[in-house]
Structure 1
Amino acid sequence: MLISDGGDWALRRWQHLDVHRELRRLADNGHGVVDRAEALAVAEHLVLDRALAGGALVRVCPRTYLDRARIGERRARLAAAVRYGGEGAALSHTTALEVWRLPAPVDGPIHLVVAEGRQPRGAAGLRVHRRRGWEPADMVVRDGFPVTRLERSIVDSWPLLDRGLQRAPAIVAVSERRTTPGRLRSALAAVPRLAGRRGLAQLVGLLERGCRSALELWGCERVFTGGAFDRLRWQVPVPLAGGTVYLDAVDPDSGVNLELDGAAHHAGPADRERDLRRDAALLALGYTVVRFTYARLTTEPGTVRREALAAMSRRTGRIS
């Protein structure tokens, strides 16, 4: 009898080890994620409870668990949130910006959007947004994750971002030609009650004028405003021998090209040599290039403004 009991105990022990291997297989196949329903399809409640109590699996969302070895992986946590959300759920807001590889904080909560009436609720580190009229067509797959479309991600994130970062996603997306100001404006129109929408609408307006960097936005808003500056054309494409270049701001009446030189691309000797060659090529086409550094634009806006106006007044119209 004792031998039989011992044999039965050993058999049950090995069976449980087999079941644990099944939980491990589920986790490995699911990027570290296991949901309760699939776990109970291969293991008894007691086995799952022991895996949770022992820390092999960690509860990260209701009925959704993560392999302890991957608890610190951001992608694994995103996968867990999507699994918890179920069919039709998508990463949204600043989390979607992260997946789109646009400037966004990566230490905040994960944002998930689902259709209105769905049951998923928020949890620690997870915010669930229920959206009326939400359809699968409103999301795309990016880097393996379902996410809201790029333009809607930028719009939704606007009220959540700190002031210093708020404009960056839209500026980067437009400057890299991943979207257009017009598409951003359409996405903004779909969210009429967005907190702070006036500020985003103003940014889109500046992007529509042609501004493509934070420094250009500064110049357009703080320096080159009103009067003769209203006729400036921003980001004007000009074909040169080495390819098309984009001029920061051009006065079509005088042919003056105002260049706003940020430190990132105009700091070293090689940058200076490149700028000189480009300026000479533009001069041959009838442009006069006037350059202003970041330091001067931000600390001497009045002086920069006067110098720009003087340059524009001395030239006669040669650029159509």
Structure 2
Amino acid sequence: MHLDEWLASREGVAHTSEIYAAGFSRHAVDTAVARGRAQRVRRSWIALQPGDDELLAAVTAGGRLTCVSAARRLGLWAPAHDVRHVAVAAGAGTTRGTDIRVHWSRGPAPVHRRQTIDPLINVLHHVARCQEPAVALAIWESALNRRLIGAEVLERVAWQGARARRLAGVASSLSDSGLETEFLLLMRSIGVVVRQQVQLDGRRVDALIGRRLVVQLDGFAHHSDPASRRRDIEADARLRLRGYTVLRFDYHQVFFMPDLVADIVRASIAQRLHIDG
């Protein structure tokens, strides 16, 4: 195997100590560079030529890709971004560059100092600190949805910072029971009486306000189960034909947009939809 082929199997960049440990000589490295198949990056780092711009930026900065930059590479949903997010060890010195966003904090998971991409747990840690709550939740949700990590793991990690702990709490409450509890507490805070798990039209509804206002709550599973979603649409239609008003909220709205949920419920009650349907 040629050096450039080996580098391609290693994300396209590696430290010379790893290269020599794999059996390549200094002469092989010099030859690959001379022939334009590889390039020297920083001290003791060799990369393919042409190289991966994001990884080269991380190595040049003395760190590794993290946050939304690493999230995309791990196959997670992530917003478009114009800068490279790089985790740098404390004491690594000043990192310059207008297209670099440096993350100085350490994540909960150990990582080798020569690793070029953060492990998933550290990626989620940096996402929680860096991104707006709605964006961070979407990325964490993507990791759950792709089964790259479990909610029970998220719950047990010793997260650093209130934002990550809040997201882990939401992730561990994505079941219907946790979501219903959060909704019930929200309704109590605005003085609305709710009856839970009432039997209507042959199936239970999550919440009933008054006689005619039904509230259904979509947990995490609804996002990955089209068949369940179709059944919910049919059930909502049947309830409307029987004179009920049906409001449906998902976990993101309940946990991160409670004012919106409260305002919609208040407006529904003000229109007597809980009485007249």
TM-score by length of 1: 0.46
Judged with a 3 Å threshold, the aligned counterparts in structure 2 of structure 1 residues 165 and 190 are, in CA distance, closer, same or farther, namely closer
Judged with a 3 Å threshold, the aligned counterparts in structure 2 of structure 1 residues 276 and 65 are, in CA distance, closer, same or farther, namely closer
Higher relative contact order (CA 8 A, sep 6+): 2
Judged with a 3 Å threshold, the aligned counterparts in structure 2 of structure 1 residues 132 and 260 are, in CA distance, closer, same or farther, namely closer
CA distance in 1, matches of 2:110, 2:125: 18
Structure 2 equivalent of residue 290 of structure 1 = 246
Query: Which string of whole-angstrom CA distances, capped at 9 and with x for unpartnered residues, describes residues 128-179 of structure 1?
Result: 868598547x9xxxxxx975344x5323321222566233223445677764
CA distance in 2, matches of 1:312, 1:174: 36
Higher radius of gyration, 1 or 2 = 1
Matches within 5 A, 1:46-57: 48=29, 52=33, 55-57=36-38
Structure 2 equivalent of residue 109 of structure 1 = 84
Structure 2 equivalent of residue 166 of structure 1 = 136
Unaligned runs of 5+ in 1: 1-20, 139-144, 266-272, 316-320
Structure 2 equivalent of residue 11 of structure 1 = none
Give the conservation status (yes or no) of the 8 Å contact 2:155–2:171.
no
Structure 2 equivalent of residue 305 of structure 1 = 266
Percent of aligned pairs sharing the same letter: 17
Give the conservation status (yes or no) of the 8 Å contact 2:7–2:13.
yes
Match status 1:226 vs 2:226:
no
Unaligned runs of 5+ in 2: 223-229, 250-257
The count of aligned residue pairs is 239
Aligned counterpart for 1:277 among listed residues 234, 248, 253: 234
Provide the aligned C-alpha RMSD in A. 5.9
CA distance in 1, matches of 2:188, 2:83: 37
TM-score by length of 2: 0.51
CA distance in 1, matches of 2:119, 2:10: 22
Aligned counterpart for 2:7 among listed residues 27, 30, 40: 27
Structure 1 equivalent of residue 43 of structure 2 = 62
Task: Tell me the SS of whatever aligns to 1:66.
Answer: strand
